[in-house]
Amino acid sequence: MLYEKQKNDIVRCLACRRKCLIAKDSEGFCGVRRNVGGNLQLMVYGKAIAVNEDPIEKKPFYHFLPGTQIFSFGTFGCNFRCSFCQNWDISQTLRLIKEKYKNPDLVRKAVDQTYEDGRKLSPEDGVKYCEEKNIPAIAYTYNEPTIFAEYAHDMGILARKKGLKNVFVSNGYMSDECLEYMKDFCDAINIDLKCFSEDFYVNTCGGTLHGVLETIEKAWKMGFWIEVTTLVIPDENDGSEELKSIAEFIAGVSKDIPWHVTAFHPDYKMTGKKTTPPETLEMAYEIGRAAGLKYVYMGNVFGAEHEDTLCPKCDKLLVERIGMSCMMKNILVDKKGRGKCPDCGEKIAGVWN
């Protein structure tokens, strides 16, 4: 759905901000959107490579249905090429195949086989599973869901008809056209704000900072529930000034947006890096609070401080967490799912049921 036809059987993809021009029999940057006879086809439609039930806190969402399980799936491919990707074995597989094989015929054969490696999961099957297991939401996650937006759309439309919620876990590089397309089914987006450096985004991630910032601002104004995650990488994006810039940007959009500062673990092309020390996350937490953010959380460190949700006005413990487990909820919730502190009545932003 998300493309335009051009001259000479070329198509322009409209799923993400790259808006790739794709020649016949070729794929866009993500590797899964192929021009077949002058029409753009999603080669991973109905084929999930990773399928799980997760705590929603794993996404991470702390202010969206906390304490519930969420049906999670993803496909191959990504519109970024982050050197530190924690799920590189699925997000970067197609890119690695093209680097390995020089012969175009071998590349095409290996890529086509990879598409077929996915587990068959129709939109109907995903929704049926949630109904049978009494799971209230679906997460499009593990790799970048923007690149399989039509697949997510079809499952999400069915899910919404059954009263289920839908969330994206995203790098925030979807196009404006894709955001409009998502309004029909998506309720919330956790967006990675990887740094506050244009050079880092271009050279390490293969995207742009300004594109992600525009998505966060636009998605919030459109009414999606937004949470932001920053993977804090030693000697890359862990400087106090950079973290301050991130926090102040988020606060400028809304002080109600939760900010997750999470620990990096060496992976993919950054195996030589050290794990993020807890004191760096503590610094990020303090910076976020100083910027006026009401909800800042530390993650990827079991038993870390600042996992709980406290009332920003009276410090009442509202949601207690250990790791990815929600231990207790103590929020008053109205019929529309809006929360407030039981002691002082302060509004607690989020979707609570």
pLDDT digits (tens, 9 = 90+) for 117-141: 888 999 999 999 999 999 999 999 9
Indicate the SS3 state at residue 222: helix
318 belongs to a structural domain: no
170 belongs to a structural domain: yes
Q: Which domain holds residue 221?
A: 47-247+267-287
165 belongs to a structural domain: yes
Q: Tell which wins on pLDDT, 131 or 301.
A: 131
**Does residue 302 carry a pLDDT above 80?**
no
Please state the rounded mean pLDDT for residues 6-23: 97
Residues 61 and 148 in one domain: yes
Tell me what pLDDT residue 305 has.
84
pLDDT in tens, 272-296: 999 999 999 999 999 999 999 999 9
**Does residue 303 carry a pLDDT above 90?**
no
Mean pLDDT of the chain: 95
309 belongs to a structural domain: no
Residues 133 and 276 in one domain: yes
Identify the helix (H) or strand (E) that includes residue 71.
strand 69-74
Residues 32 and 104 in one domain: no
Question: How far, in Å, CA of 225 to CA of 340, rounded?
Answer: 17
Which residues fall within 8 angstroms of residue 22, CB to CB, at 6 or more apart? 10, 11, 12, 13, 28, 33, 34, 35, 40
Residues 135 and 166 in one domain: yes
For the ranges 191-205, 269-283, 316-330, the lowest mean pLDDT is seen at: 316-330
259 belongs to a structural domain: no
Residues 11 and 103 in one domain: no
172 belongs to a structural domain: yes
**Does residue 353 carry a pLDDT above 90?**
no
Residues 120 and 60 in one domain: yes
What confidence tier does 304 reach under pLDDT thresholds 50, 70, 90?
A: confident
Tell me what pLDDT residue 348 has.
97
The two tokens of residue 329 are: 């909820």
Please state the rounded mean pLDDT for residues 65-81: 96
178 belongs to a structural domain: yes
Please state the rounded mean pLDDT for residues 216-236: 97
**Does residue 306 carry a pLDDT above 80?**
yes
Q: Tell which wins on pLDDT, 240 or 338.
A: 240
Residues 52 and 145 in one domain: yes
Identify the helix (H) or strand (E) that includes residue 100.
helix 93-100
Residues 51 and 161 in one domain: yes
Q: What is the pTM of this model?
A: 0.96
What confidence tier does 324 reach under pLDDT thresholds 50, 70, 90?
A: confident
What confidence tier does 329 reach under pLDDT thresholds 50, 70, 90?
A: confident
pLDDT in tens, 142-189: 999 999 999 999 999 999 999 999 999 999 999 999 999 999 999 999
Residues 155 and 230 in one domain: yes
Please state the rounded mean pLDDT for residues 230-235: 96
Tell me what pLDDT residue 166 has.
98
What confidence tier does 61 reach under pLDDT thresholds 50, 70, 90?
A: very high
Residues 97 and 24 in one domain: no
Residues 7 and 150 in one domain: no
Tell me what pLDDT residue 6 has.
96
25 belongs to a structural domain: yes
- In total, how many domains does the chain have? 2
Residues 30 and 64 in one domain: no
CATH number of the domain residue 220 falls in: 3.20.20.70
Please check whether residue 325 is in contact with residue 288, taking contact to mean a CB–CB distance below 8 angstroms. Answer: no
pLDDT in tens, 86-111: 999 999 999 999 888 888 889 999 99
Q: Which of 258, 287, 316 is the last residue of a domain?
A: 287
User: What are the b/e assignments for 262-278, b being 16+ CB within 10 Å?
Assistant: bbbeeebebeebeebee
Question: How far, in Å, CA of 171 to CA of 145, rounded?
Answer: 9
